[in-house]
């Protein structure tokens, strides 16, 4: 996934351009401070927009009413109030009592058509109602409400209004259930607070999976009680020789809890049998020759491997998977499996045949990089495809064959949505082995039709990985992720019928002031008509 080497547009999506109220695309979104943002001018594009009527206005007397006796609803109401209070200066009490003219949050058992993550937003002068079947949908409705308010709502000090939401109804459900972003904390280590910051940024765009790459040649980042040197020694450095770091179990659970509060499911990854030098350096017995190699701080790949014939290897895997699974409430556990160049094909197949049942034993579903399809993927497993548009037909056919046989696909084509790829040759960060990936290239492809021979029904969703060979700060994360991850979020959420670059670039441009208000150091792509000033 890191080796160095060099649609038709549909009429329906054009309605989003009209809805955005754009006079001249090159001039950027032309909205005055007193003009409510059109309901369709959000990202990801909603499934259905029915504009109509006068806007809803937040006022100093507005209350947030949470209907029903729902702990999750109350938490979401409190979260919403926490976003709105600093910028508006309003009290916005959260209540389960009457709140005429206020914001209503409803969890409705009857609205099954909204599914686990869908919602309905209804806005009129009489009030604003957010309805969902499940709490995740209600949380996503709050993100839509945020985007419909002026960007200044994201500020942490009082600003002048008005705070209006255009009249009408948005009804919205996601295209894919899996909409992910991956953060590599192994090449460079990121603190709990840095991960939380990224979680908050992803949540605004309805990303619902956070894939944490917890181990690699350069560092082991999670405490394992039965093998303590993995973290204390294997986690003691990083690319370039910095201090590295690792998460205690309490810190890992803190990340999980925070992500869950934003309705992101954490997918932990322990990469194996390759990308394992940090583990091999920590325990000599994991090496076939019984000799521990030195810690590694470079960026080469493919040189390390667990010792497949040794029984202790599977004791190690069992212990790691058992402890990680016990801490992780989500469904998935990622076992890597890419770039195992130092493992023979026969050993690779034997290793995966032994390791996948261990994952199942501890109640998790296997996710692996698409090289897993060269072995026998477990029933229900997901293969994460990271090849290129130009990847060989034989490799693509292998993945497509597995998809036809029941293996689900997460699409992460490296020359489309690897967030560590440079935007252009002048980008100061990132790599270019998969080519340059500008904002349009990251957006302008269809996951449902991307892999020849793979049924559209096999596509579980999309994920944007951010590898950290050159990434070491939150500013680096933000510059490389934004705005490309916003487009990935739309690919995962929005109906295929809304997919249109010209319409998207206008809606993305309108996100510029919001990202600025949030302090996100995003890349100002010349392909996007960002508002002046």
Query: Which residues participate in catalysis according to the annotation?
Result: 339
Report helix, strand and coil shares of the chain as percent, to nearest 5: 35, 15, 45
Inter-residue contact 422 to 437 (CB < 8 Å): yes
With tokens 């793979």, the residue in question is 454
Which pair of structure tokens corresponds to residue 271? 């990469």
3-state DSSP assignment of residue 83: helix
Reduce the DSSP state of residue 453 to 3 states and report it: coil
Integer Cα distance of 323 and 26 in angstroms: 53
Measured distance CA(31)–CA(22) in Å, rounded = 9
Secondary structure (3-state) at 257: helix
Whole-number Å distance between alpha carbons of 222 and 441: 34
> 526 Cβ partners below 8 Å, 6+ apart?
none
- Inter-residue contact 310 to 342 (CB < 8 Å): no
Q: 419 and 469 in contact (C-beta within 8 Å)? A: no
Element (H, E) at 82: helix 71-88
Quote the longest CA-to-CA distance of the chain: 75
| Residue among 505, 376, 506, 392 at smallest CA distance from 452 | 392
The pair of three-digit structure tokens given for residue 49, joined into one six-digit string: 């927009």
What lies within 8 Å, CB to CB, of 156 at 6+ separation is 86, 87
3-state DSSP call for residue 345? helix
| Alpha-carbon span 466 to 213, nearest angstrom | 10
Distances (CA, A) of 525 to 4, 432, 441, 510, 521: 25, 17, 12, 13, 12
β 178-184/48-51 pair status: unpaired
- Running DSSP on this structure, what letter comes out for residue 323? H
Selection from 190, 237, 208 nearest residue 466 by Cα: 190
Q: Residue 291 and residue 284: Cα distance in Å, rounded? A: 5
Listed in sequence order, the DSSP H helices in 156-209 are 192-203
Any idea of the CA torsion for 373, 375, 376, 381, to the nearest 10 degrees?
Answer: -50
- Tokens 């943002």 identify what position? 37
The residue ranges of DSSP E strands in 338-446, in sequence order, are 365-369, 382-385, 408-411
């Amino acid at each position: 996934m890191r080796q160095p080497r060099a649609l038709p547009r549909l009429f329906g999506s054009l309605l989003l351009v009209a809805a955005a109220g754009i006079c001249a695309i090159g001039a950027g979104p032309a909205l005055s401070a007193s003009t409510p943002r059109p309901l369709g001018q959000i990202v990801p594009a909603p499934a259905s927009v029915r504009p109509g009527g006068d806007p809803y206005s937040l006022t100093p007397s507005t209350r947030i009413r949470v209907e029903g006796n729902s702990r999750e609803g109350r938490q979401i109401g409190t979260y919403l109030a926490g976003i709105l209070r600093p910028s508006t200066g309003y009290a916005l009490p959260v209540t389960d009592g009457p709140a005429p003219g206020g914001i209503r949050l409803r969890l409705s058992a009857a609205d099954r058509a909204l599914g686990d993550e869908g919602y309905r937003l209804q806005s009129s002068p009489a009030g604003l109602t957010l309805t969902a079947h499940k709490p995740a949908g209600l949380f996503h409705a709050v993100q839509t409400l945020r985007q419909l308010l002026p960007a200044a709502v994201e500020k942490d000090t009082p600003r002048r209004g008005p705070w209006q939401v255009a009249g009408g109804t948005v009804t919205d459900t996601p295209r894919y259930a899996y909409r992910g972003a991956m953060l590599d904390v192994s090449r460079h280590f990121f603190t709990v607070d840095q991960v939380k910051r990224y979680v908050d940024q992803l949540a605004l765009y309805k990303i619902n999976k956070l894939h944490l790459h917890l181990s690699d040649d350069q560092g082991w980042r999670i405490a394992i009680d039965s093998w303590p040197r993995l973290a204390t020694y294997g986690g003691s450095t990083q690319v370039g020789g910095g201090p590295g770091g690792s998460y205690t179990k309490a810190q890992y659970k803190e990340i999980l809890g925070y992500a869950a509060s934003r309705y992101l499911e954490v997918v932990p990854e322990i990469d194996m049998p390759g990308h394992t030098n940090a583990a091999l350096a920590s325990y000599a017995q994991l090496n076939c020759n019984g000799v521990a190699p030195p810690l590694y701080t470079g960026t080469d790949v493919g040189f390390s491997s667990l010792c497949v014939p040794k029984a202790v290897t599977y004791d190690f895997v069992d212990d790691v998977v058992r402890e990680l699974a016990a801490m992780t409430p989500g469904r998935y556990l990622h076992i890597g499996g890419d770039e195992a160049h130092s493992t023979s094909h026969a050993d690779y197949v034997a290793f995966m045949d032994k390791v996948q049942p261990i994952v199942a034993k501890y109640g998790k579903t296997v996710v692996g990089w698409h090289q897993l399809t060269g072995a026998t993927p477990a029933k229900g497993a997901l293969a994460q495809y990271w090849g290129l548009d130009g990847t060989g037909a034989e490799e693509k056919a292998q993945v497509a064959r597995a998809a036809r046989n029941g293996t689900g696909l997460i699409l992460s084509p490296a020359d489309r949505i690897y967030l560590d790829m440079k935007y252009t040759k002048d980008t100061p960060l990132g790599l270019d082995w998969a080519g340059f990936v500008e904002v349009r290239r990251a957006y302008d492809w269809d996951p449902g039709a991307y892999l020849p021979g793979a049924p559209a029904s096999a596509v579980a969703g999309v994920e944007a990985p951010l590898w950290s060979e050159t990434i070491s700060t939150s500013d680096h994360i933000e510059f490389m992720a934004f705005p490309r991850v916003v487009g990935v979020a739309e690919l995962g959420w929005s109906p295929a019928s809304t997919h249109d670059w010209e319409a998207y670039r206008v809606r993305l441009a309108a996100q510029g002031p919001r990202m600025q208000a949030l302090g996100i150091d995003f890349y100002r792509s010349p392909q996007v008509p960002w508002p002046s000033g």
